[in-house]
Amino acid sequence: MSYKVTRDQDSCPSITLTDEPPYVHALVAAPSAREPELNTDNWLVMAFAVWSTPDNLAIQTALDVAKHYGGKLNLGLRPFDDAEELDAWCPDIEDDGQSPLWVLLHDGEIYMKRSGILTVDELVELIGGACNPVTAVAI
């Protein structure tokens, strides 16, 4: 199980996943709108700055959190170059200058937003402590 952050010939960032479970998804950078799949079920989206070494290392934290929930929570990994790219899929996000960005969604509704480097335990606590339907389905 692994991941690789790269850029295509147009310098657009992407993430490639190898042998990750089906609940882990590589999302495109700078989409024109939120993907329909993010509007159903439970999602933790981690948007990470491709040029940030700490953000790239935090991808493993996101993978570990997803594995902790064993498929009850989808994980979306979205690369970005500039925080303005987040507006199309999550317009309510305010740029506080920190990354990565962690967004917990349930049926498309935002239940948690955090930014910065977090540990697996911190994320699990934040997800479990969020007052939302996600905890009602016993993630």
CA atoms of 135 and 139, how far apart (whole Å): 6
pLDDT tens per residue, range 1-42 = 789 999 988 899 999 999 999 999 999 999 999 999 999 999
pLDDT at 77: 98
CA atoms of 29 and 84, how far apart (whole Å): 11
Nearest to 47 by CA among 115, 128, 101, 110: 101
Q: Does CATH number 3.40.50.300 belong to domain 2-136?
A: no
Supply the pTM of this predicted model.
Answer: 0.90
CA atoms of 81 and 13, how far apart (whole Å): 8
pLDDT tens per residue, range 34-76 = 999 999 999 999 999 999 999 999 999 999 999 999 989 999 9
Q: What percent of the chain has pLDDT over 70?
A: 91
Is it true that the peptide bond before 100 is cis, omega within 30 degrees of 0? yes
pLDDT tens per residue, range 102-121 = 999 999 998 899 999 999 99
Nearest to 65 by CA among 52, 53, 77, 49: 77
